[in-house]
Amino acid sequence: MRNIIIALALLVSTVAFAQTTTGPANLYAAGASFNQGAKPSVAGNFLYAHAIGDGTYAFSDIDVLPNTLRPFTVTTNIGGGIAQKLFTIGKYSVYVPTTAGVSINGNNTGWNWSTGGMVPVKITKSGWYLLPNARVIKSSVSNGTGFQLIAGFDIGWGK
């Protein structure tokens, strides 16, 4: 039942908030984030976004969230989904990325989902972007990071 609710929320959010965008057709980024539940409290992520419509991007994300320092273990969340432009403040657009996928921690494998907010800020004419973001990630794997709130910055390039 939970999966049906998540799928319906994704569908409704992409239809309800469709707006025009002039962003890049493809965006590649990597970054670091603060994660209060991790040990150490720093997480990393990689993302790719491809424009598929007005204000809508096919979106994939890989998050690497530390669990313990000794021994050093991580939960890797690999997800795909949609990033939808929700609104604009001045010249900055706010996107809501929502993904679902596989979560891996050593021999444990399960599912994950994530959502949040992201603002792409173009910093050079050659297509470099700064992407401040805040997201929530939920993983089902045992001995993993579970439910996490993360805030971070990505640096990316898009054209």
The full set of domain ranges for the chain reads 2-158
Query: Would you tell me how many other CB atoms lie within 10 Å of the CB of residue 125?
Result: 6
Which stretches of the chain are DSSP H helices?
2-16
Amino acid identity, residue 138?
Answer: K
d(CA 123, CA 140) in angstroms, rounded, equals 37
CA distance 149 to 81: 19
Tens digits of per-residue pLDDT, 19-76? 334 689 999 999 999 987 777 889 999 999 999 999 999 999 999 988 888 888 888 9
Residue pLDDT, tens place only, 96-141: 999 999 999 888 899 999 999 999 999 999 999 999 999 999 989 8
Q: Which fold has domain 2-158?
A: Porin (2.40.160)
Q: Which of 49, 62, 35, 63 is nearest to 120 (CA)?
A: 49
Q: Band of the pLDDT at 13, cuts 50, 70, 90?
A: very low
Predicted local confidence at residue 58, as pLDDT: 97
Say if residues 29 and 15 touch (Cβ distance below 8 Å): no
